[in-house]
Structure 1
Amino acid sequence: MTVVTAERITTADQAVRIATELAEVFAAGAAERDLSRRLPHEELDQLSASGLLAITVPAEFGGADLPPSVVAEVVRILAAADPNIAQVPHSHFVYLNLLRLAGTRALQRDYFGKVLAGARIANAQSERGGATVADISTVLRPIGETGASDAERQHVASSRIVGGSTARRFVVEGTKYYCTGSLFADVLAVLTRLDDPQGISGLEPGEYVAFVPALEPGVRIVDDWDALGQRTTGSGTVEFAGVTVGPEQLVARAAAVNAPTGYGAFAQLLHAAIDAGIARGALEAAAEFVRTRSRPWFEAEVTHAVDDPLVVQRFGELAVAVAAAESTLIVAGAAVDAAVRAVAQDADPSVSGDSDGAQASIAVATAKILADRAANEVSAAIFEVGGTRSAAAEHRLDHFWRNARTHTLHDPVRWKYQHIGRAVLHNRPPPLHGVI
């Protein structure tokens, strides 16, 4: 487990203040880390030690239980400084939310306690082999007298089992890609499909998330992430070969995803926060470059580039784009807060959370569209307003665009427009699939 002594954050103001302080530290080396692909191990230990990774732990388990809007603001602040660091805990917060919504009391007590002590959770979710990203081939197979191969039996025999039969234990087999944060993780949240045709497990068919220690035998984390941006997020491949888990490590995903719990809206809100942060960071970097390094175009007949009326105009346009992204992020955060409160106040989210959940998803879709647009536009416009000098490699301004372009590929905004349009024209709520 991550060896840190984690602080305890108790209020939203404290969380925002600490995020702002850390952002100043992280910003100083962001471009250099990106250029050399130096993984931010030390910085993430600082993040763990700050207590920020535990701000969503429910109060009954000793956490601050801060709402999604505060988490989004923390992520936005960090992303303006270094979007790589900001993206690493995205899955951490999402899977803590899954635990809150669908985990057993024992599992909640265990993992919330680990997170309060500084542990980090990363995702092992996406695959490449299916027809779409929604096709999951990683299997969760019960091991019993009729269901185990010789290799699986041998692995079970050598694993840490405390007495009893192996009939209620499972094996995880498969390969995951784009596993953001896996190189820094203590625990991997592995999305699996139950393979139990004989029904010996007693579990309902469907998808399950298995919480697996990153150092568990059979887990292989590969540092092979080579994208053009978000280069230090540790988003490599993870292989699972005969990894054994118990039922106490499993969470059925359906309880969170197939009901209007706000699960998908919360996850998407944090993605929007990352993009809004990139846009703000790019705008500030562009302004600083023009103030200190750019020369004015001769036809402007001014002494300084900042006085060129066309440059001033462009900065006004870019500032509006960033402000719009940040404003809709605030609105979306409030909507997700309301959806979470509705679910918390009623044991059946399908009764109380339906309207709030739909509104939250539409609000987040709107924020995601504007944040995507602002991040890509402003990060590209750095060179437009900065002039030829801004393209010099020594200034490393390209990392804003590369990070924006890479992160905004996560899920297509063209489908956000579709769901918004259907809500307006047909009063149709968005689908419950966890990605809106």
Structure 2
Amino acid sequence: MDLTDLLPDELLERFRTRAKGYDERNEFFHEDLAELREQGYLAMFASVADGGLGFGLAKAAAAQRRLATAAPATALAVNMHLVWTGVAHLLHERGDDSLDYVLTEAVAGEVFAFGNSEAGNDSVLFDSSTVAQPQGDGSYSFTGTKIFTSLSPAWTRLGIFGKDSSGEESVLVHAFITRQSPGYRIKDDWDTLGMRASQSCTTVLEGVIAPADRVFRKLTVGPNADPLIFSIFACFETLLAAVYTGLGERALQIGIATVNQRMSKKSGKPYSQDPDIRWRIADAALAMDGLYPQLESLARDVDERVEHGSQWFPKMVGLKVRATETARTVVDLIIRVSGGGTYFAGNELGRLYRDVLAGIFHPSDDESAHGTIANAWLGPLES
């Protein structure tokens, strides 16, 4: 399916119009989600034969980039569903069918969310503060607090993980719970500067049970070469970069339109004829032009199973950092040429300015990314 058929201009314009209201009311994007589901968007990673769209990571990233030009918060939250379905797709393509049910259920309308982030856990997927307690029948109870749980009002399946320290060696247990599972609660605490429609509320796990058939991985604590870890990083970082690339792309579009419309009282010409403003627009365009091919090539390399060896993780975190930082720089440049109207509540560019700041907080953060890249090129720090 062509992306303009999946996300036609008129659909994007509805999303863009609603984004303003969602942001002002701090409200979840229920209407957007319903329309995306109707388009088959949530099943993009499932095969056509199974009722999906048959997308790989490159095409999914292109779709998310396009969606983010209209509604970044919608795209960011949908990312979390697409991470899990993308992971299931990548594992299946590599001969691992352990998460095939994720694709089947996505086609059936289930919404998956990502409940792994924890406050203060800078080990990300390599350790957990959540306690995973074995129940004797293969099931596990989970007790802990997960932050930034996007899709909080809508998910029907939540991927979580925690640490089981009951044996000789601690293991990290990955599992899914359903919305009907007792033993968790969602805080109504999402009142943020930006990305407000994502409604990424805190989820408190209070002994919630994941049944044995939904416990899908047990991994040792610390860095791990398991395909699950690679797949999560590949989907999370690439799709995240796609959202912020789309956000920066939209900011540049707004800037070009604005400077062509604004007239200088001094010269009587549009601001697009001012050399200083032209320089800023060119600077923003140059920055974005370097981002598009990096996003496309890395996603394509994942799909085509190009062998990057130890450079895979540096490439993935590097893409995330470059996308979020480039988008932030571009939005700032465009605001500087767009006039004081952008400072008023409800202005789209002002909302993008707030939304783009969320990129600072997504893993891998700037410090972690630089550490990963330094270790890849220079080796680990000496003890």
Report the TM-score, using the length of structure 2 for normalisation: 0.86
Over residues 184-218 of structure 1, what are the superposed CA-to-partner deviations in whole Å (9 max), with x where a residue is unaligned?
A: 211111122224338xxxxx852122211123222
Q: Match of 2:83?
A: 94
Q: Match of 2:114?
A: 123
Pair 1:141-2:133 in alignment: yes
Partners of 2:90 and 2:64 lie apart in 1 by: 21
Over residues 302-335 of structure 1, what are the superposed CA-to-partner deviations in whole Å (9 max), with x where a residue is unaligned?
A: 4222222221221111111112111221122222
Cα 1:357–1:80 change in 2 (3 A) is: farther
Q: Match of 1:372?
A: 324
Shift of 1:384: 0.8
Q: Match of 1:54?
A: 43
Counterpart of 2:175 (choices 210, 218, 224) is 210
Counterpart of 1:184 (choices 154, 159, 180) is 154
Pair 1:258-2:225 in alignment: yes
* One-letter amino acid of the counterpart of residue 277, structure 1: G
Q: Match of 1:113?
A: 104
Partners of 1:196 and 1:80 lie apart in 2 by: 47
Give yes or no for contact 1:321–1:370 (8 Å, CA) kept in 2.
no
Shift of 1:396: 4.5
Gaps (5+ residues) in structure 2? none
Q: Summarize the alignment of residues 63-74 of structure 1 with structure 2, pairs less than 5 Å apart.
A: 63-74=52-63
* One-letter amino acid of the counterpart of residue 78, structure 1: L
Give yes or no for contact 1:24–1:81 (8 Å, CA) kept in 2.
yes
Q: Match of 1:268?
A: 237
**Corresponding residue SS for 2:177:** strand
Give yes or no for contact 1:61–1:109 (8 Å, CA) kept in 2.
no
Counterpart of 1:306 (choices 256, 266, 272) is 272
Pair 1:337-2:303 in alignment: yes
Cα 1:382–1:58 change in 2 (3 A) is: same
Partners of 2:338 and 2:323 lie apart in 1 by: 22
**Corresponding residue SS for 1:182:** coil
Over residues 210-258 of structure 1, what are the superposed CA-to-partner deviations in whole Å (9 max), with x where a residue is unaligned?
A: 2111232222122211221111112111122232222101111649952
Counterpart of 1:405 (choices 350, 354, 357) is 357
Cα 1:168–1:313 change in 2 (3 A) is: closer
Give yes or no for contact 1:125–1:176 (8 Å, CA) kept in 2.
yes
Give yes or no for contact 2:233–2:316 (8 Å, CA) kept in 1.
no
Gaps (5+ residues) in structure 1? 1-10, 145-166, 199-203, 343-354, 430-436
Partners of 1:257 and 1:99 lie apart in 2 by: 18
Shift of 1:363: 3.7
Give yes or no for contact 1:20–1:78 (8 Å, CA) kept in 2.
no
Partners of 1:269 and 1:394 lie apart in 2 by: 29
Q: Summarize the alignment of residues 28-47 of structure 1 with structure 2, pairs less than 5 Å apart.
A: 28-47=17-36
- Stretch of structure 1 that moved more, 80-89 or 303-312: 303-312
* One-letter amino acid of the counterpart of residue 248, structure 2: A
RMSD value, Cα: 3.0
Give yes or no for contact 2:115–2:147 (8 Å, CA) kept in 1.
yes
Report the TM-score, using the length of structure 1 for normalisation: 0.76
Partners of 1:214 and 1:332 lie apart in 2 by: 34
Partners of 1:66 and 1:129 lie apart in 2 by: 35
**Corresponding residue SS for 2:176:** strand
Q: Percent identity?
A: 25
Partners of 1:368 and 1:105 lie apart in 2 by: 26
Counterpart of 1:287 (choices 250, 256, 273) is 256
Give yes or no for contact 2:91–2:99 (8 Å, CA) kept in 1.
no
- Stretch of structure 1 that moved more, 384-393 or 180-189: 384-393
Q: Match of 1:227?
A: 192
Over residues 62-87 of structure 1, what are the superposed CA-to-partner deviations in whole Å (9 max), with x where a residue is unaligned?
A: 54442111111111111111111101
Cα 1:101–1:248 change in 2 (3 A) is: farther
